[in-house]
Amino acid sequence: MRHTEIETFRAVMLMGSTHKAAAHLGVTQPAISQSLKRLQAEAGVPLFMRTGARLMATPEAHALLKEVERVFIGMDAVEHRLRSLRDHGLNHLDISAYPAFGLSFMPRVLSRLKTTRAALPWPQTSLQVLSSKDVRDRVAVGLSDFGLMADEMSPQGLTHSTFANLPGVAVMSQAHPLARFKAIRMEQLAEVPFLALNPEDASRRRLEALLAKSSLGLQVAVQTPYAASVCEMALQGLGVGVINPVTALDYASRGLVLRRLHTEVSFACLLVMPSNKVLSGIAQQLLGLMRQQLAEDMRHLQNNLQAA
Mean pLDDT of 11-20: 81
Average predicted confidence (pLDDT) for the chain: 89
pLDDT of residue 88: 45
Mean pLDDT of 182-211: 96
Phi and psi torsions of 256, nearest 5°: -65, 135
How does pLDDT run across 96-148, given as a tens digit for each residue? Answer: 999 999 999 999 999 999 999 988 888 999 999 999 999 999 999 888 999 99
Mean pLDDT of 185-194: 97
How does pLDDT run across 40-60, given as a tens digit for each residue? Answer: 787 777 877 877 777 788 888
Which residue in 86, 154, 99 sits closest to 128, CA to CA? 99
pLDDT over 60 at 82, yes or no: no
What's the Rg (C-alpha) of the chain?
A: 32
**Burial of residue 23 (number of CB atoms within 10 Å: 0-12, 13-18, 19+):** middle
64-68, 204-208, 230-234: range with lowest mean pLDDT: 64-68
Is residue 276 very low, low, confident or very high in pLDDT (cuts 50, 70, 90)?
Answer: confident
pLDDT of residue 90: 56
The span from the CA of 24 to the CA of 6, in Å, is: 14
Sorted by where each starts, the structural domains of the chain and their CATH numbers stand as 3-88 (1.10.10.10), 92-164+269-306 (3.40.190.10), 166-268 (3.40.190.10)
pLDDT over 60 at 1, yes or no: no
DSSP class of residue 56 equals: E
pLDDT over 80 at 181, yes or no: yes
Is residue 37 very low, low, confident or very high in pLDDT (cuts 50, 70, 90)?
Answer: confident
Mean pLDDT of 170-186: 97
The span from the CA of 16 to the CA of 305, in Å, is: 79
Distances (CA, A) of 250 to 240, 243, 247, 300: 17, 12, 6, 11
pTM to 2 decimal places = 0.70
| Amino acid in the structure at residue 153 | M
Q: Which residues contact 170 (CB under 8 A, 6 or more apart)?
A: 178, 184, 189, 240, 241, 242, 258, 259, 260, 261
- Residue 55's H or E segment, with its range, is strand 54-57
Mean pLDDT of 175-196: 97
Is residue 80 very low, low, confident or very high in pLDDT (cuts 50, 70, 90)?
Answer: low
The span from the CA of 168 to the CA of 197, in Å, is: 12
| Amino acid in the structure at residue 192 | V
